[in-house]
């Protein structure tokens, strides 16, 4: 992709476009599913088909047990499904019928070849674009919903124009990055802080932008619908995630100083939050960020900076990732060190495996790294998460090569059905996700303490434990990230 290629002279061959009546979403994942389910729910007169190459995923969307857990999602899907919301594996048929197509496929980091470990792998975007070029109807609007490197729309246009069988095909590409956060996706989609719609400054681009804005205007506050240039919109998503991740790494860097100085990072961060220029969000110290986006979007930004000949900029953002990896490793090391420098054959309860509360998503979850470290050090790990299945835990740990070097049989870890069962017989419990059930008043800490091996340790990487003194009184040794006890 060359940033010097200009689109501003693009010879627009726009077909007249009326209001959007039929939408197709390619990719029925964490973004495509909830986003278009909410759209269908709010716009009953628009037919919305969410399509995916994964038969398993589509079957789950059509079943009682949706493939992802998201508070409020079930009710939205159940009301709209079969009315104007459909889930289908007929990718071509769904594209062919649509006058607006969201591309919501995955954009993981490349694992091999040029840019491996940093660049976005756009093979899924390209495959989807080729299907659009081949089967979409004239004048269809194409919307980048996936997070993509800046100027991806330019590559998409080249593919569309080269592959389309029609000599007078007309494609308008918009950028409409998604800002939902897993765990609050439905809330975020119903009342988004902003909806960005980026377009080329051509008459066709402006008209397509207006058509998509009209769809959102059915339920989104007008002042939250922001129109801008295509490249700014693409870059805004990477910029927003980089800034959020940077806050987490910054507060974790302060947490490390707190632990050495007997300062308390929660006191420090609450003091910082009161400054309106800083703001109150994403200043929770802990065991680092996870999720499918921050890591890969930062890698993407680093790669973009390097490609643009900006090594200092790349180095700046790289430190955010370095700090995150170090934070996770430091947490594991602390566990071993505080448990008398050996955890061989000790039972350790890991409470929470999802990368954050209210989601079953384990992508890049810090729990994966910490479990891997504990297993490598010979511990027997008992994992409990209210929303993550054993199969997902197995997949996540296997992908990281996490295995026990001491287990003579089995995997070296056991997935437990409850917090109490994970803790029974354990020498330590480690909080890796801030599920509300862990901090609930219903938790009988005395009973948990009695069921554990002594001394009984608590390692809190998620600020779950609020009343440390009460737990100490029971007999626990408590360690919290960023608190210098
Ligand atoms: N997960 C989030 O919280 C989040 C938030 C904002 C943006 N994003 C971005 O949204 C995009 C999608 O993320 P996700 O978490 O939904 O990914 P996902 O892996 O959950 O879903 C992507 C889906 O696309 C399908 N797919 C891939 N190629 C296809 C093709 N050619 N035709 C049909 N289906 C195809 C896959 O089978 C998969 O089900 C990514 O670019 C991501 O960075 C994610």
Tell me the pLDDT tens digit for each residue of 224-235.
999 999 999 999
Q: Specify if 253 maps to a domain.
A: no
Q: Are residues 357 and 470 in the same domain?
A: yes
Q: Is residue 189 located within the same domain as residue 326?
A: no
Q: Is residue 466 part of a domain?
A: yes
Is 363 a known ligand-binding residue? Answer: yes
Q: Please report, for the domain that includes residue 355, its CATH number.
A: 3.40.50.720
Residue 303 belongs to a domain: no
91 is in an annotated binding site: no
Tell me whether residue 95 is in a domain.
Answer: yes
Helix intervals (H) in 66-122: 73-80, 91-97
**pLDDT tens digits for range 358-376:** 999 999 999 999 999 999 9
Contact 128, 26 (CB under 8 A): yes
User: Is residue 469 one of the residues assigned to a domain?
Assistant: yes
Does residue 71 sit in the same domain as residue 211?
yes
Whether 10 shows a pLDDT value over 90: the answer reads no
The number of folded domains in the chain is 2
**478 CA to centre of ligand 1 in angstroms:** 39
How many whole angstroms from its chain centre is CA 249?
17
The domain boundary, picked from 184, 202, 220, lies at 220
Residues 349-358, mean pLDDT to the nearest whole number: 97
Distances (CA, A) of 70 to 52, 54, 65: 19, 20, 12
Mean pLDDT of 455-479: 96
Nearest atom (ligand 1) to Cα of 127: 31
Question: pLDDT at position 279, please?
Answer: 96
Closest residue CA from atom 20 of ligand 1? 29
Averaged pLDDT of the chain:
93
pLDDT at 55 over 80: yes
24 is catalytic: no
Q: Is the Cβ atom of 124 under 6 angstroms away from ligand 1?
A: yes
pLDDT digits (tens, 9 = 90+) for 129-178: 999 999 999 899 999 999 999 999 999 999 999 998 887 777 899 999 99
Does 482 count as an annotated binding residue? no
Q: What pLDDT does 126 receive? A: 97
Cα of 264 to ligand 1 centre, how many Å? 39
Q: Are residues 451 and 337 in the same domain?
A: yes
Asked if residue 146 has its Cβ within 6 Å of ligand 1, the reply is yes
Domain final residue, candidates 220, 243, 267: 220
Alpha-carbon gap, residue 467 to 181, rounded angstroms: 29
Q: Is residue 251 part of a domain?
A: no
CB distance 180 to ligand 1 below 6 Å: yes
Asked whether residue 14 carries a pLDDT value surpassing 50, the answer given is: no
* Lowest mean per-residue pLDDT among 296-300, 411-415, 450-454: 411-415
Task: Name the residue at shortest CA distance from atom 6 of ligand 1.
Answer: 178
Whether 385 lines ligand 1, by a CB cut-off of 6 Å, is no
Confidence of residue 407 (pLDDT cuts 50, 70, 90): low
For 142-157, b where at least 16 C-beta lie within 10 A, e where not — what string? bbbbbbbbbbbbbbbb
- Residues 215 and 335 occupy one common structural domain: no
Q: How confident is the model at residue 485 (pLDDT cuts 50, 70, 90)?
A: low
Q: How confident is the model at residue 406 (pLDDT cuts 50, 70, 90)?
A: low
**pLDDT score of 217:** 98
Yes or no: say if 144 and 152 are a contact pair by the CB < 8 Å rule.
Answer: yes
Annotated catalytic residue, options 25, 293, 371, 423: 293
**pLDDT band at residue 101 under the 50/70/90 scheme:** very high
Mean pLDDT value of segment 58-83: 97
Query: What is residue 81's predicted lDDT score, i.e. its pLDDT?
Result: 98
Tell me which of 24, 25, 27 to substitute to probe ligand 1's pocket, judged by most ligand atoms within 8 Å of the beta carbon.
Answer: 27
Q: Annotation-wise, does 182 bind a ligand?
A: yes
User: Which of 220, 255, 276 is the C-terminal boundary of a domain?
Assistant: 220
User: pLDDT of 283-324, one tens digit each?
Assistant: 999 999 999 999 999 999 999 999 999 999 999 999 999 999
Identify whether the C-beta of residue 431 lies closer than 8 Å to the C-beta of residue 352. Answer: yes
pLDDT of residue 18: 85
Say whether both 55 and 168 belong to one domain: yes
| Residue 5, pLDDT above cutoff 50 | no
Q: What share of the chain has pLDDT > 90, as a percent?
A: 91
- Is the distance from the beta carbon of residue 244 to the nearest atom of ligand 1 less than 6 Å? no
Per-residue burial over 311-346, b = 16 or more CB atoms within 10 Å of its CB, e = otherwise: eeebeebbebbebbeebbebbbeebbeebeeebeeb
Same domain, 166 and 38: yes
Query: What is the span of the domain harbouring residue 201?
Result: 22-220
Q: Domain for residue 296, yes or no?
A: no
Structure tokens that stand for 352 in this block: 């929470």
Inside any domain, residue 399: yes
């Amino acid at each position: 992709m060359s940033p010097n290629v200009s689109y501003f002279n693009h010879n627009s061959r726009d077909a007249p476009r009326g209001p959007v009546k039929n939408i197709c979403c390619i990719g029925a994942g964490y973004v495509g599913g909830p986003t278009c389910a909410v759209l269908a729910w709010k716009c009953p007169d628009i037919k919305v088909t969410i399509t995916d190459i994964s038969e398993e995923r589509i079957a789950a969307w059509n079943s009682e047990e949706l493939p992802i857990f998201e508070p409020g999602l079930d009710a939205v899907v159940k009301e709209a499904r079969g009315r104007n919301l459909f889930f289908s594996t007929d990718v071509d048929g769904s594209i062919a019928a649509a006058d607006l197509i969201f591309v919501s496929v995955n954009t993981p980091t490349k694992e091999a070849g040029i840019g491996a470990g940093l660049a976005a792998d756009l093979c899924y975007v390209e495959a989807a674009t080729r299907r659009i070029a081949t089967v979409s109807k004239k004048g269809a609007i194409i919307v980048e919903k996936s997070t993509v490197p800046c100027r991806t729309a330019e590559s998409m246009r080249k593919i569309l124009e080269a592959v389309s069988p029609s000599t007078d095909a007309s494609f308008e590409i918009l950028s409409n990055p998604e800002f939902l956060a897993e765990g609050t996706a439905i809330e975020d989609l119903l009342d988004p802080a902003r909806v960005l719609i980026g377009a080329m400054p051509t008459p066709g681009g402006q008209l397509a932008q207006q058509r998509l804005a009209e769809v959102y205007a059915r339920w989104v506050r007008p002042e939250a619908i922001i129109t801008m240039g295509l490249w700014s919109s693409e870059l805004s998503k990477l910029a927003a995630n980089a800034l959020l991740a940077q806050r987490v790494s910054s507060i974790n860097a302060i947490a490390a100083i707190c632990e050495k100085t007997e300062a308390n990072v929660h006191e420090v961060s609450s003091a910082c939050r009161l400054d309106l220029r800083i703001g109150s969000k994403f200043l929770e110290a802990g065991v680092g960020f996870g999720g499918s986006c921050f890591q890969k979007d930062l890698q993407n930004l680093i790669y973009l900076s390097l490609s643009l000949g900006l090594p200092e900029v790349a180095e700046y953002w790289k430190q955010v990732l370095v700090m995150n990896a170090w934070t996770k490793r430091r947490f594991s090391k602390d566990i071993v060190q505080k448990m008398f420098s050996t955890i061989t054959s000790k039972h350790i309860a890991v409470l929470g495996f999802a990368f954050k509360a209210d989601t079953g998503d384990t992508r890049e979850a810090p729990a994966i790294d910490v479990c891997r470290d504990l297993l490598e050090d010979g511990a027997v790990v008992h994992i409990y998460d209210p929303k993550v299945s054993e199969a997902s835990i197995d997949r996540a740990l296997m992908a990281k090569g996490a295995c026990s070097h001491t287990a003579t049989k089995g995997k070296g870890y056991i997935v437990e059905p409850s917090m109490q069962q994970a803790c029974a017989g354990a020498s330590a419990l480690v909080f890796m996700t801030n599920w509300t059930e862990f901090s609930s008043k219903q938790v009988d800490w005395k009973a948990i303490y009695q069921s554990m091996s002594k001394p009984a340790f608590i390692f809190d990487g998620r600020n779950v434990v609020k009343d440390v003194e009460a737990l100490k009184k029971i007999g626990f040794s408590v360690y919290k990230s960023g608190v210098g006890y």
